[in-house]
Amino acid sequence: MILSISGVVLLGVIAFLFFRKDGLKLSHALVCSLFGFYLAGTAIAPSIKAGGASLASLLGGIKF
């Protein structure tokens, strides 16, 4: 749960920065968010979630 909330916040901040700095139009951001919302209800959602968790554990295991 913590990972998904922080991921949502991170992606929200990135979308906001694209909106402010790189000319992302509000309509494009709305379409992307609706696409993500509807994608979460499909059969591929568990695979996407597992891939995100795998990427997070990979990044979390990097030692500097």
The pair of three-digit structure tokens given for residue 44, joined into one six-digit string: 């591929």
| 24, HSE (Cβ side, Cα atoms, 13 Å) | 17
pTM: 0.57
Residue ranges of domains in the chain: 2-60
pLDDT tens sequence across 43-55: 888 888 888 889 8
Regions of the chain short of the pLDDT cut 70: 1-5
In the chain, what percentage of residues exceed pLDDT 90?
A: 2
